[in-house]
Amino acid sequence: MPENRFLSTLDRADAARLGPALRLRTLKRDDLVASEGRPVERVMLPVNCILSVIAVLRDGREVETRTIGFEGGYGLLHALGSPISYERVIAQVPGDAYELPLAALAQAAQASPSLVNHIVSFAQASLIQSAQTTACNAIHGAEQRMCRWLLMSQDRLGSDILPLTQEHLSIMLGVQRTTVTAIAKDLQGRGLIANGRGRIRIVDREGLKRIVCECYEALEDGVAQMVGFSPAEQAG
C-alpha cells in the first residue's frame, strides 16, 4: 500500500507538529471532500484512494480538472491563503486518506518556514497537473485522454484493477457516457483492458502507453520536478 508522499517527506520537526492532528479516514466512492464556494475545513491526504477535482459549470455540466492520489493532497494551499474552494472534490476511487484540520496545518505553517516550502512544492505540483489536464482536455481526443487517466490511476493505486464506473469516466473526460462505452469496448477488443462490473482491469500497460498522448509523461515529469517523485515509479 503506498504511503502519502506529502507526509512521508516531511522533516522530523514538521512531522511532529502535524502528527497529533492527523486522523486516518476511509472514504467511500462519491464521498464529498469539498464543495464549490464553501470553506475548506480539512486537508485530505490520500493513501490508497483517488480524489477527483471537478469544475462545475452554471448549467450543471462537470469536467475533471485533475486527480489527486498518494502523491499529494487537497487543501494544502488553502492553509496559506483563502480557505474557500472553487471546485468540487469527491472520492473517485474509495480507500483510505489522512485527514488534517485546515486550521492545524495553517497554525503549524506559521511556526515553520520549511513546512511552508513543503506545502508550496506540493501545491505547485498539483497546479501543474491542472494546467496540463486543461490543455489535454482541449486538444487531445477522448481515447488518448482515457488512456492517460487509466495509466495515472494505475500509478496511484499500484494495482491493475481500477474500481470505477463508466459514469465517472464520462465526467472525468467531459464526454457522453456512450462515447466512453465505445472507447472501452474498442480498447477491450484490442486486448488492452478488460471491463467488469464497476471496474476496469489493465491488461496491457505498454499498449496503453503507445496510444496515450504526451500529457501523461508531462504530468508525471511535472510532479517529479516539484516533489522529487513520480507516481509512475509506483507502477514500475
> pLDDT tens across 21-70, in order?
999 999 998 899 999 999 999 999 999 999 999 888 888 777 788 889 99
Q: 28 and 105, same structural domain?
A: yes
The reply to whether 84 and 151 lie within a common domain is no
C-alpha cell at 1: 500500500
Average pLDDT over residues 173-193: 89
The string of DSSP codes covering 20-60 is GG-EEEEEPTT-EEE-TTSB--EEEEESS-EEEEEEE-TTS
The answer as to whether 45 is a domain residue is: yes
Lowest mean pLDDT among 68-82, 197-211, 219-233: 219-233
Is residue 174 domain-resident? yes
105 and 158 together in one domain: no
Whether residues 175 and 108 fall in one domain: no
Based on the domain organization, do 13 and 92 belong to the same domain? yes
Rounded Cα distance, 119 and 123, in Å: 6
Domain end (from 112, 145, 168): 112
CB atoms within 10 A of CB 176: 11
H helix and E strand count, the chain: 10, 10
Distances (CA, A) of 75 to 82, 84, 142, 194, 198: 10, 10, 29, 35, 29
C-alpha cell at 228: 522529487
Assess if residue 147 is contained within a domain.
yes
Mark whether 98 and 168 lie in a shared domain.
Answer: no
Query: Domain with 106 in it: what CATH number?
Result: 2.60.120.10
What's the number of domains the chain is made of? 2
Domain shared by 13 and 97, yes or no: yes
Range of the domain at 178: 137-235
Domain end point (choices 112, 146, 176): 112
Does residue 229 fall inside a structural domain? yes
Amino acid letter for position 143: E
Last residue of a domain, one of 97, 112, 127: 112
More confident residue, 32 or 128: 32
Does any domain span residue 127?
no
Say yes or no: 105 and 203 in one domain.
no
**DSSP 8-state class, residue 34:** E
- Residue 92 counted as domain residue: yes
Residue reference for cell 487509466:
150
What percent of the chain stands above pLDDT 70? 94
Burial readout 106-143 (b: 16 or more C-beta within 10 A, e: otherwise) = bebbeebeebbebbebbbbbbebbbebbeebbeebebb
Q: Do 189 and 229 fall within a single domain?
A: yes
- C-alpha 165/C-alpha 199 separation (Å) is 6
Do 141 and 226 sit in the same domain of this protein?
yes
Higher pLDDT pick, 205 / 233: 205
State mean pLDDT over 169-180.
Answer: 80
Q: Do residues 99 and 172 share a domain?
A: no
Q: Which DSSP helix (H) or strand (E) runs through 43? A: strand 42-46
Q: Where are the alpha helices (DSSP H) in the chain?
A: 5-8, 12-18, 102-110, 113-139, 142-157, 166-173, 177-189, 205-211, 215-227, 232-235
Whether residues 73 and 144 fall in one domain: no
CATH number at residue 177: 1.10.10.10
Asked if 72 and 157 touch (Cβ cutoff 8 Å), the reply is no
Residues in Cβ contact with 110 at an 8 Å cutoff, skipping those fewer than 6 apart:
none
Name 199's bridge partners.
196
pLDDT of amino acid 212 = 93
Specify if 161 maps to a domain. yes
Residue 125 lies in a domain: no
Position 223, amino acid: V
pLDDT digits (tens, 9 = 90+) for 96-110: 999 999 999 999 999
CA separation, residue 14 to residues 9, 114, 115, 129, 212 (Å)? 10, 8, 6, 26, 39
